[in-house]
Chain A
């Protein structure tokens, strides 16, 4: 009983964060309505986003009372920021994003329920997950289309889908399954390192063949950290690092676009006319925005290639400022921190590894692309979870949040 009271107290305490997010939305859409072509349409879009967020929050509350508010609020803020930026960049394009947002939010609720009734997200279905995961990325090999040097999306009836985004979640479920030895898994007292290794190597190999280096790096790092946490020997972990270094050297020598990206990172201004163009444009956008940003509609974000997807962080810095950019970095960290906290308090080994894998997925993705845009590391073509335009990315990220929230309530 006192538990119940504590939960309610905590929710009331944290609910003001939700008000801040709603206020942020109202303010931004009002501002945009003054500048945009259609006053009414802008306000309606804003209203739709707010209703969806509130609806999702209420249904989550209904589905599991003790959900993790901070995690969810971080996601709501990022989604709001994303919708505002997409609307400002391309009004009609962002309207198409609305039903995708709706579907993704619904999917996250559905997954929460899956966790509750113990289907899909259990070690029992690891082979199904593994097969589906591999199938999705192999599919691209045959019917995929090339974008920016990497073959990573397919087109189905006017919709552009990036299968590797969905595959990531299944990949994590599969590997967590291989490392689990409970009543569902059928393994006795032993994580199945060999099977997991073979599976991960197969996935990464296919991605490398597709030249999707960004996804290959993500799959590799996620698997590596899951191996580490599952208790693999230290000597094995060191051996793998040596393998990565060799693989990195080979890919540097073998792939032209890996080499050009490293050169563009080292000095984007020398090769401004071609390879360094994107990096340099991003840096100029960040520098133009300054600490406080130029303000909505005051910048020129469409000068940056890939402004809606990979380079959305540069757009945030240009129009909202570096301070907001740092807040976004902080929010990603809070999101990851909550994910790891859920992993730490989950009872079963499978849930722990799965949640850790998801937190790692968010961490690796956001680090790679924010680091790339800000010239800390070479650019890898990776989407920024929740912020980048792109339905598949949003869907898979929200499914991942659904798993985390589900485990938080039922798996701990």
Chain B
């Protein structure tokens, strides 16, 4: 049976090739996983190495973009290493979520950049040689502006809410504050119950809170309309009577108004029961007309609206190197009534402020998102030489916005500031564009809506995108808009105080 042995030899070669492929897969997977997820695995709150290393290595300094020191380590009299934070209360409290505490109650820069701060990235000979006690980690500079943070912290005051500003050309996050906050220096006291905690104070509302967006969602509906409704730009709209829906089935009753409706019904109206009369699409957006956008949503249809939301980063957990952002959600409605409300940011629509800021950034940057980043540079703690400077990174993975749509949305956002609901944000000498939002969160009369503003400065040298949300504070134009204006004035350096 010589033939049989020939077959065996042939098949042995096949087996060898299969093994080769399997082992190549092992090696490639190891490298791929390390380069894709390594940083995240390392900075996982479960990684106890970070905590124990912090006891043996003098962790590097964390400072803001202007060199203001936010955290540093020193040896106390017993030779134990102590982590200290900024002595300025406002700065310390306003940057608590960005920094993150040592126990990982909230996860921030101290953990994301632990690799540098603990010197894990230093050369092997630097690490192995010498006593552990004398080893020093590298210094980390953040893109955050501490002064701006403290200012925002005081502006928000006792309100619950969040504010974020990022540079849409470089992705640098200048401001990220969340209220209520906590004192990182007292984290042990909080955990020992020696100090009273506030409900939700560890939550970074910028990246983790799930908010009803209200009218700022109209930006999504607008892009969907541009995509799916032909010639929508030149259409004329009319806003007079409230929209009527069948109470039971939620079906839209076209051509019926409150004077001639014969069944039990529900309505959809504008904020404050306004009527806007005759409108162009741009005017409807600028004046934040619910009826026009509700009708647009019904015309587009829930599946297509969902598809657009998805192409704008909804239903995505953003896992960037410096920041992790919870996903915004658009639940596909089945009834006309829900679809209509979902088109104006109610129903079950949910967003995170950071995602909204990124959406505005991408639009402002002609449809291209530059990945948000928190790390400005890493420097050697001994001689101050720069070890690593991350470069701005364009990200095409999450946002898919055609540049002509971005152009049109920008025009609409400018109109909103020019003559619409966001008028109050305008600053002399700058072209500001934006959209307000008033998100109803309760049927009860005495619970006020969330107040939103999302927008950007159309300026080559000051390319800032902003998102502000104040919980249960009132309409967008009355609360979030003035706060946003003050923050932008401060960021632009034109604050009058």
Contact = CB atoms under 8 A, between A and B. Distances in A.
Interface of A: 181, 189, 225, 228-231, 269, 272, 280-281, 283-284, 286-288, 290-295, 298-300, 303, 317, 322, 325-326, 329-330, 332-333, 336-337, 340, 343-344, 349, 352-353, 356, 359-360, 363, 367, 370-371, 374-376
Interface string B10-43: 0111111001101101110111011001111110
B7 A300 contact: no
B42 A284 contact: yes
A229 B41 contact: no
Main secondary structure of the interface of A (DSSP, over half): helix
A286 B34 contact: yes
Given A284-B46, A288-B120, A374 B19 contact: no
- Please provide the 10 A-B residue pairs with the shortest distance between their CB atoms, ordered closest to farther: A287-B41, A287-B42, A287-B38, A333-B23, A284-B47, A376-B29, A295-B128, A229-B11, A283-B41, A231-B7
B8 interface: yes
A189 B363 CA distance: 75
Contact of B48 (A181, A303, A371, A374): A303
B124 to A, nearest CB: 6
Nearest to B129: A295
B1 A322 contact: no
29 contacts: A181-B1, A229-B11, A230-B8, A269-B46, A283-B37, A284-B41, A284-B44, A286-B34, A287-B40, A287-B42, A290-B34, A290-B38, A290-B120, A291-B34, A294-B127, A322-B31, A322-B34, A329-B23, A330-B23, A330-B27, A333-B19, A337-B16, A344-B9, A344-B12, A352-B8, A353-B8, A363-B23, A374-B29, A375-B33
Contacts of A303: 48-49
B52 interface: yes
Nearest to B41: A287
A189 B1 contact: yes
A288 B50 CA distance: 9
Given A291-B34, A371-B29, 17 more contacts: A230-B8, A281-B46, A283-B33, A284-B42, A287-B41, A288-B42, A288-B47, A290-B121, A329-B30, A337-B16, A352-B12, A359-B19, A363-B22, A367-B22, A367-B23, A374-B30, A376-B29
B461 interface: no
Interface of B: 1, 4-5, 7-9, 11-16, 19-20, 22-23, 25-27, 29-31, 33-34, 37-42, 44, 46-49, 52, 120-121, 124, 127-128
A364 to B, nearest CB: 9
A371 B29 CA distance: 9
B124 A272 contact: no
A367 B40 CA distance: 25
A27 B128 CA distance: 14
A298 B23 contact: no
Contacts of A367: 19, 22-23, 26
Contacts of A317: 30
Contacts of B26: 329, 367, 370-371, 374, 376
Given A290-B121, A326-B30, A329-B23, A349 B47 contact: no
A240 to B, nearest CB: 15
Nearest to B43: A287
A356 B15 contact: yes
A294 B40 CA distance: 18
A356 B12 contact: yes
Contacts of B23: 329-330, 332-333, 336, 363, 367
Contact of B25 (A269, A353, A376): A376
A298 B39 CA distance: 19
A288 B49 contact: yes
A292 B44 CA distance: 20
A338 B300 CA distance: 64
